[in-house]
Amino acid sequence: MSQPNQRTIENVVSVEGIGVHSGAPATLTFRPAEPDTGVRFRRMDLEGSPEIPVDLDHVCGTELGTTLGKGEVRVQTVEHVMAALSAQGIDNVLLELSGPEPPILDGSFLSYLQILDEAGTREQESARRPCLEIREPVTVRLDSGEFYVATPGEGLRVSATIEFEHHRIGRQFGSFVFSNRGFREEIAPARTFGFQADADSLHERGLALGASLENTVILDKDGVMNEDLRFPDEFLRHKVGDMVGDMALLGSSLNLHVVAERPSHRGNVALAKALRKEANRNGQAIVDIEKILEYLPHRFPMLLVDRIVEVESGKRIVGIKNVTINEPFFQGHFPGHPIMPGVLIIEAMGQVGGLLLMDLVEKPEDYVVYFMSLDKVKWRRPVVPGDQLVFELEMVQFRRHVCRMKGQGLVDGNVVAEAELMARIVER
């Protein structure tokens, strides 16, 4: 089945409120974005209006919410907005935020769904929505008790169990099929919750400063302090909504059945990273050739990267080059015994590394990477037609647009080349 096209919003909409943890007032404005932009926060209250891509590589905190960061810039508690965007099938949107945290509104996901109803959505014909699929089960177990199993599925189903000692919660289980209507009716109204006994310690750590009975289900020793619950298992349903929001950081639709025991933001993010790793193992591209052409100045026959399958922003990248007999260099390099030139293997490694550097600048299309030096270059074995070259590079140091990287190229898990590279990012 072919994937649907990407979607963005039709109209600009805004909402005001306070952050549940920061207690700070903020306005959040949703603006349409071009295909393949993804979701991006723009901190309008900070000098230069810096942006943070909304993805797994920019997660920098998971205590009682998911926090994104780039450099010194932070946005707290993104999961409610992301769950609503995911439910509405919105792939590309710019989120202009005038504070450190999106408004909590009534503490549920439904408020954001209703705001997006006002914005409307439209299909973007030029790009397909990515879909993450796995072939084998993925298991994640954390030392703090969270446990997840994800198996291949059709669409997304979440089956979750939570357990708290408080008598109004206890142990709760539910299984939910993720769709716009199902999410809207079964999950979206569920509000965030907390315990009055924890209030003082949370406040000392700068958390829950904006929590109140208007936006949080609060439990004391006697029970629920609010007038009523929206569901008998509202606590479970909100946890499932948080899972949807955190997994939306993958930037893909999902064909999975996820079974979770005691889910948390930390566990949700660990699961999402494990899912990405498993999908990448099967060769699914997270940066395809069209995007590579935007960032790299190279063209045939010197473009030597086919796709990027893993990126950890500012730290690590994995790219692939499929070597075929049709490569133009085979015509004159060892005719009758085709071998990929070693210098081109290192060139391909450098191009993959260049794409890692492009993630460190605001407008990568305005920059180019020049390599300054190579060190400790070694070739371990020949690369021949039919091989798939997998390049793994990690950042060693990055200062003032100059970086050092270590890289290796592998075929069938065996190292065929390795090098240390130094490069500079310069304006085109």
Burial of 94 (C-beta count, 10 Å sphere; 0-12/13-18/19+)? buried
Quote the Cα angle for 408-410-416, to 5°: 80
Element holding 254 (H helix, E strand): strand 253-261
Contact 284, 133 (CB under 8 A): yes
DSSP class of residue 4 equals P
Tell how strand 367-379 and strand 316-322 pair up.
unpaired
CA 207, distance to chain mean position in Å, is 24
Which tokens belong to 383? 């690369």
Q: Could you tell me the CA-to-CA distances from 60 to 117, 170, 244, 269 in Å, in that order?
A: 30, 31, 18, 10
Nearest to 130 by CA among 270, 245, 290: 290
Which tokens belong to 21? 């943890």
CA pair distance 339, 333, nearest whole angstrom: 7
Contact 315, 395 (CB under 8 A): yes
CA 233, distance to chain mean position in Å, is 29
Query: How many CB atoms lie under 10 A from the CB of residue 230?
Result: 14
Handedness of CA 258, 261, 262, 267 (dihedral sign): negative
Amino acid at 288: D
Contact 345, 419 (CB under 8 A): no
Tell how strand 253-261 and strand 307-312 pair up.
unpaired
CA atoms within 13 A on the CB side of 322: 7
DSSP class of residue 190 equals P
DSSP class of residue 75 equals E
DSSP class of residue 192 equals P
Residue 409 phi, psi dihedral angles, 5° rounding: -110, 140
Annotated catalytic residues are: 265, 333
Query: How many CB atoms lie under 10 A from the CB of residue 127?
Result: 18
